[in-house]
Structure 1
């Protein structure tokens, strides 16, 4: 089974080619802010990123003869976890998604490339809108704004299954708190194979992140929106990509902040420590969702490469449960293995309705 996996992110497009379980090619294409500044939003980058995928495969001498192309799923309506065939309804709703994030391009590029090949399937797997919340977790103080999820479902579920396999257990038998630490931060309570509570990592919940605001006080935010100084689009961009460390320190790059701390920058240390503090506080909150019965706490994502951060997190939360660190993410492999499993009939290929 020849599989092409495509994972578009805010600042990169990752491509993986697999022959069954074997990774035969991996490439991360970085997109500079200067390059992306020519596009008004991520959705306008479709043709640019699609061509980069084609060019990269050609440069790597990879024949364009895939059995399945699987893309990172976009910000659709809430759906259950699993693998989905990309159909016209899914594509239409992706093109018209309210949140125009780069991840939306995954299904669009996958479907477009697969359409040029005979008998090639186009799939998505565990998109960021996977919704397994318990009903009690949907309620907040404002019925006009019920809670919904946007999170790193693909990587979180893959890491949870990896942990279970490493410990000769089944994901469906464990209670885990999994935290994806990246440009966005998602934190979930996984109860016996379902993420029953998770923050919305894009629209303003949870801790602040390298570039996102996290939870904000409601009344000052209302005042900001009605100040007349900002448009709706400017506020959204600020909250989702211009806040957090970026707003405080002028950068969303954790290694850069760590170098500033090493040189004695006290403000940089305070801001980064505050982010760590908020992450730890939310881990504590999620432990109550599981009644304190937590088998392990897992930290993953690019930010988990920093021992400065993970050591502090361990110090704050290890009293709850053992802590395990899985730096980085392997979403390409997760995409490919989900696709392979589905094509082999080991899991259902679902229909998006």
Structure 2
């Protein structure tokens, strides 16, 4: 029997809960929260007790007592930019996330885990938290004064798949260099160099390849023209983060529907879908340059990586760089469990959270202040 790990991820309308025995999942649940129940709370922070009871009820239905759990691990939003790795969840983490001014249930990850840890005397961990930012300085610079690149990506799944790729190649994550493309509703491509995610697109701010429902990079002047010709900020933000990409161009972000349309002879669907794969391949090639061509492995992950057409299109264009490994789907809960096990077994150090950001903006002489800072 291995360590029993409880993992959780609070989302906008659901809470993912899973219990692992070692790396084997005993159960996985995605508990949905009816809109009328969520509407009863003014702020995400107010949902703490509601979400806590949801998790306890899920455990009870599976016949698992909280006391049976050896460690707790979860998706912990609003920890701010930090290096990747494993942080012990304590009062400092909880105070920070609950007072960060973020109104999303992801902020409840750390407080919920901390509550369970205090109730049982077992440890709680944040593993490769979503605001991980390990970018090198040159990756942050843009030609637009005061606008800098930051890291907002699928960090947890990115790093987990890079770890899996490294193991498959007989390497360690810290001992190799990998390029990972996560293609789901959002799309992130990241360059992992010896244990650090040194360059990536920004999923939240709208950079990189376009995604199933996000716009990705676009020429700036036409977007500015739209902004001054009557389009509202909400409409433009929507295209950037929710209704752009495949959804905006084809009316659906379901790759299965799109491939069916292509097979039926839809030429527009074909060129748009191939364009997304084309941009992913181009981003991977760019990161190969960042690594000076010394790439140990390329990873395709996320839901779209289930599609053979997409995988084939990208692989044909980047397979000459390094071996391409496909881990289709989402391994976030598995990653949370695996991180907790590494912490318990002492194979990865556990850090103490200070609240100090991993990047505070450029402070060198002549630097222009971050427009968001």
The TM tier, using the shorter chain, reads 0.7 to 0.9
Distance 1:297 1:114, change over 3 A: same
Distance 1:220 1:33 in 2: 37
Shift in alpha-carbon separation, 1:40–1:209, aligned structure 2, 3 A: farther
Greater shift in the superposed pair: 174-183 or 28-37: 28-37
Query: Alpha carbons of 1:288 and 1:55: their partners in 2 closer, same or farther (altered >3 Å)?
Result: same
Distance 1:10 1:266, change over 3 A: farther
2:66 match: secondary structure = coil
For structure 2, the residue ranges without an aligned partner over 5 or more in a row are 355-373
For the Cα contact (< 8 Å) 1:186–1:199, is it kept in 2?
A: yes
Per-residue Cα deviation, 1:92-124 (whole angstroms, up to 9, x for no partner)? 443455665554443343334445x23133321
**What does residue 258 of structure 1 align with?**
259
Q: Which moved more, 1:214-223 or 1:11-20?
A: 11-20
Identify the residue that residue 79 of structure 1 maps to in structure 2. Answer: 82
1:94 corresponding residue in structure 2: 97
CA 179–237 in structure 1, closer or farther in 2 if over 3 Å, else same: same
Secondary structure of the structure 2 residue equivalent to 1:141: coil
Correspondence 1:149 to 2:170: no
1:185 aligned to which of 177, 187, 191: 187
SS of the residue corresponding to residue 172 of structure 1 reads coil
Q: Output the TM-score relative to the length of structure 1.
A: 0.87
In 1, the alpha carbon distance for the partners of 2:155 and 2:283 equals 18
TM-score (norm 2): 0.83
Residue pairs, 1:20-99, within 5 angstroms:
20-29=22-31, 49-65=51-67, 66-95=69-98, 97=100
Whether the 8 Å CA contact 1:176–1:191 is kept in 2: the answer is: yes
1:127 maps to what in 2?
129
| 2:18 aligns with one of 13, 16, 25 | 16
Q: Is there any run of 5+ residues in structure 1 with no aligned partner, and where?
A: none
1:219 to 211, 218, 221: 221
Q: 1:201 — aligned with what? A: 203
The equivalent of 2:113 in structure 1 is 110
- Does the 8 Å CA contact 1:111/1:122 hold for their aligned counterparts? yes
* Mapped partners of 1:42, 1:265: distance in 2: 43
Distance 1:216 1:31, change over 3 A: farther
**What is the CA–CA distance in structure 2 between the aligned matches of 1:307 and 1:11, rounded to whole Å?**
31
What's the Cα RMSD here? 2.9
Report the more deviating stretch, 339-348 or 189-198.
Answer: 339-348
1:44 deviation in Å? 7.3
Of residues 90-99 and 300-309 in structure 1, the stretch that sits farther from structure 2 once superposed is: 90-99
SS at match of 2:321: coil
Partners of 1:259 and 1:17 in 2: how far apart?
37
CA distance in 1, matches of 2:32, 2:269: 26
Contact 1:7/1:14 (8 A) holds in 2: yes
SS of 2:64's partner is: coil
Structure with the greater alpha carbon radius of gyration: 2
Shift of 1:177: 1.1
Q: How many residues align?
A: 351
**1:329 Cα deviation (Å)?**
2.4
| Structure 2 counterpart SS, 1:173 | coil
Instruction: Report if the CA contact (8 A) 1:85-1:351 is conserved.
Output: yes
Distance 1:31 1:260 in 2: 34
Q: Matched residue of 1:24: which SS?
A: strand
Alignment check: 8 A CA contact 1:67 1:119 kept: no
In 1: Cα distance, 2:212 partner to 2:135 partner: 26
Check 1:123–1:33 CA distance in 2 against 1; reply closer, same or farther (3 A cut). Answer: same
